[in-house]
Amino acid sequence: MYKVVALILGFMVVTGGTSFAQDEPAEVPLNFAVGIPDANLPTIDGNDADWAWVDKSFEITIDDMNALTGGADDADDLFVDLLMGWNQSQNRVYAMVHVHDDELIVDVNPSCTWKDDTVEMHFDPDNGGGGTHTAGGVDLQPAWQICLSFSEQFSRVQMYSGGLSAFDGADAFDFWWTHSGDFIEIAQINDDQEYYYEFSGTLFDPLAIGSGPDGSTPWILAPEQIIGWSISVDDADPGTNVNGEDGSVNNNYWQAMYSVSEMFMNQGGIADVYLTPVEVGATAVEANSWGQLKKLVNEDL
């Protein structure tokens, strides 16, 4: 999948509103969400067959991603390929994530989902540069994340925003209303060592933890908009973890995290995603095409 690096250009004026380039870090990756026509809306069932129409240039593989910690031995140990998309009439983002993993480890560290085999998604819809730990103790969260797993003991979809211990009555893993199918839809398939996570969701900015959907502001998606959206894959394996410890000592088998972002997203660094207009045969923008990049951000360099 082709990706470019978005430079900090100040204000980016985009169709459907004003979006801002992220302030931190100075450079963030720019990825592409395919515009999904109404006729091609995927059924959220964990089957990737209804994504077959998407041009391969939109595909992001582990070779395009960044190892934020640890690493994979080879494609037999871990391989990832994923697609990001969006649809205007539904006002939802969509994703299809396929993970090949030779060892599935879940439910060994339920207090830290990311220490299991997990898919994480981070959202900063207005692209203001915030992270999931930047607004602790308040109801209105500018950035938030979900964790998807094959847990048999706990919710397979966990919503999360850091620093909520100071927010009266809030559980950092329990945005109760976001679990409703009205806002989030997820389906997963476990096929031996092949794992499929299919997702669609309505974005909010800000998202209200305690006051629910009535206190949240839906984010309106539009063609050529740039939003903050990262997808990461956590890999847990038996043996030595990323800290050089025996994972069985404290149930921490975390060995790698691969992300479309270039840094951890707690305080910022959530990748930019360009919402490609719906167009038959559309392809992702090539990384070395500065002319297309200038057209993309609607700025003169």
Domain layout of the chain by residue ranges: 4-297
Q: Considering only CA atoms, which of 162, 77, 79 is closest in space to residue 114?
A: 162
Q: Considering only CA atoms, which of 118, 188, 219, 196 is closest in space to residue 160?
A: 118
| pLDDT tens string 128-171 | 888 887 777 777 888 888 889 898 877 677 776 665 544 555 45
Beta bridge partners of 191: 194
| pLDDT tens string 12-71 | 323 333 343 444 434 568 999 999 999 999 999 999 999 999 999 999 999 999 999 999
Residue 231: the pLDDT is 97
| pLDDT tens string 104-120 | 999 887 667 778 999 99
Query: For residue 199, is pLDDT > 60?
Result: yes
Alpha-carbon gap, residue 123 to 200, rounded angstroms: 13
Query: For residue 172, is pLDDT > 50?
Result: no
Query: For residue 88, is pLDDT > 50?
Result: yes
Are 186 and 141 in contact by the 8 Å Cβ rule? The answer is no
CA angle 149, 5, 279 (to 5 degrees): 75
Residue 175: the pLDDT is 54
Does the domain at 4-297 match CATH 2.60.40.1190? Answer given as yes
| pLDDT tens string 258-301 | 999 999 988 788 999 999 999 867 888 643 343 345 345 544 44
Q: What string of DSSP letters covers the chain? A: ---EEEE--SEEEETTEEEE--SSSSEEEEEEEEEPPGGGPPPSSS-GGGGTTS-GGG-EETTTSEEEEE--SSTTTEEEEEEEEEETTTTEEEEEEEEEES----SS-TT-GGGSSEEEEEEETT-----TTSSTT-SEES-EEEEE---SSS-SEEEE-SSGGGSTT--TT--GGGGSTTTEEEEEEEETTEEEEEEEE--BSSEESSSTGGGS-B----TT-EEEEEEEEEEE-SSB-TTSSBHHHHT--EEEEEESSSS-SSSS-PPEEEEPPP-TT--PPPTT-HHHHHHHHT---
The mean per-residue pLDDT over the stretch 250-256 comes to 92
Residue 34: the pLDDT is 97
Residue 249: the pLDDT is 87
